[in-house]
Structure 1
């Protein structure tokens, strides 16, 4: 029978779901930034050679996640555009929830979810499993390479050379939010604007002390270290 989960229960049962997986594991979440406990569990599943599929929906992985994923041979990572679903499935259990696979959400947000089992909730479990497979099929598999890590490291290196300015990634970390939310706030504040797939400074952004810099992998914005959005 389906079980209702609050924030702490979702975190607990998610860890149990990963721990008990013996054949396969699907982790579907728009945001991907794993806490140490989830990483330990996935590393153990990787040693057991279990097929693990991680699908995320934001176009840029954090460098720490990219570097760590490179070490796992049995984890395949895919990017799904416009992904909003959060669903975690093993061969026996399924959690459908508002909780992202993101450590900030697990600690700070109020979340809800439902736990299903294949034995007690067979039809609903099967429907969720098939939808998860569909999402995986339409996702673009990402080959994690050093380029992903080097891009952010290059940006961070230039960041330290800009009089203690902050890239958007570092500004987001300072504010305790993810990069997508930080970009949204910067746009709402009129400090930057989205043109195609890239963000550019507005006049107001320039007046705030921010500058547009060119790095090895293209342009990026350096914000004032004391900027508040």
Structure 2
């Protein structure tokens, strides 16, 4: 369930987003002026090579020292977006939609509020926010391009989601070891399987082990090694991934 945050709560949630990230961080804020703590946490997560997408408003000028700091982060990509007013901070686990800019004065002096939501307990809100963050990124241009978003066209997309480097295990492309009767029944009625995130019943396909809703959420960060909760084959609770969507028992039974 989403939680209400006051100004200190928003600041604490931002730090938690940075510290707990393992796959991706998105920072959407019209104005940027970093506190010493912001600098330290961003630098620490950069050492772990966690990708960071940062978008600020194109007609603003971040503190030059802060901008120079962000540019030297090896895993950061910085963008400008026309007419940006939204403030949103998120990683692969949870996010915050808030009134507060990532700005020293805002964090120390302003009355601010926000809402914290989780991918696990608020999947629809998380997925919709992720999609909107993607739209903002697609409407943005690289900070050093000298070109604002209004001049970008559909054929000149400057933002591309980060691509995973691993693919599904070749062994899982082989049909399960079943008898002729089982195969005949499956060919007629389709083989029942389970979404590895929510457990919903879906067609068996180890290359596409998500229901449509969970796939939209997974595709936001596109990490084939992110840990899920359900075996695609048996539907029981097990740690699985898109790369390995079946539990060890099912793997041994059907693929070895």
The reply on whether 1:2 has 2:9 as its aligned counterpart is no
Contact 2:71 2:78 in 1 (8 A): no
Shift of 1:80: 0.4
The answer to which structure has the higher helix fraction is 1
**2: CA distance between counterparts of 1:76 and 1:94?**
19
The answer to which structure has the higher strand fraction is 1
Which position in structure 2 is the counterpart of 1:21? 21
Which position in structure 1 is the counterpart of 2:102? 101
Give TM-score scaled by structure 1 length: 0.61
**2: CA distance between counterparts of 1:111 and 1:27?**
17
User: Deviation string for 1:110-140 (max 9, x for gaps)?
Assistant: 0010000000000011000110011011101
**Runs of 5+ in structure 2 lacking a partner?**
146-256
1:136-147 → structure 2 map (5 Å cutoff): 136-143=137-144
Larger radius of gyration: 2
SS in 2 for 1:70: helix
The reply on whether 1:82 has 2:83 as its aligned counterpart is yes
Shift of 1:96: 0.2
**Equivalences, count:** 145
User: Deviation string for 1:65-113 (max 9, x for gaps)?
Assistant: 1221232111110000000000001001010000001011000000010
SS in 1 for 2:95: strand
The structure 1 segments of at least 4 consecutive aligned residues displaced by more than 3 Å after TM superposition are: none
SS in 1 for 2:127: helix
Which position in structure 2 is the counterpart of 1:54? 54
SS in 2 for 1:19: helix
Which position in structure 1 is the counterpart of 2:126? 125
SS in 1 for 2:72: coil
Give TM-score scaled by structure 2 length: 0.55
**Runs of 5+ in structure 1 lacking a partner?**
145-229
Q: Which has the higher contact order (CA 8 A, sep 6+)?
A: 1
Which position in structure 2 is the counterpart of 1:34? 34
**1: CA distance between counterparts of 2:113 and 2:60?**
25
